[in-house]
Amino acid sequence: MLRNIWPAIMILQALPVSAQRLTAPTQSVMTDGAFLANSIPKWEHGFLLGFDDERALALAVDKSGKLVLQAKIWPDGSEIVHVNDVAASPKGSFAVTATSMSTGGAWSSFIE
């Protein structure tokens, strides 16, 4: 089995490596520390959005770094909740997609 892997490793080692620079950030913001997302944050319609899946929180800060959304997403009767994404509308409202498991073991996906 290892004999089949070695040619691929040799090919990868022969490829040239070139250093590249990252582009400068287009937007940046300093938050007050309440924006503790464990997701990869994203900019959308003037808000920095993220979520904390462990605490089932949706989070958003505005361009000044002010926390404008910190919502616990936990439908009644849920035993487990996984936040999947957060979105912002051009008018400043927010939507969250999540999946939950009821205390009876039934899974459902929803938008809140």
10-residue averages of pLDDT along the chain (112 residues): 48 64 78 84 94 94 93 96 96 96 96 93
Please name which of 75, 71, 67 lies closest in space to residue 52, comparing C-alpha atoms: 71
Q: Give pLDDT, residue 86.
A: 97
Phi, psi of 48 (to 5 degrees): -90, 120
Q: How many helices (H) and strands (E) does the chain have?
A: 1, 7
Q: Give pLDDT, residue 2.
A: 46
- The β-bridge partners of 109 are 99
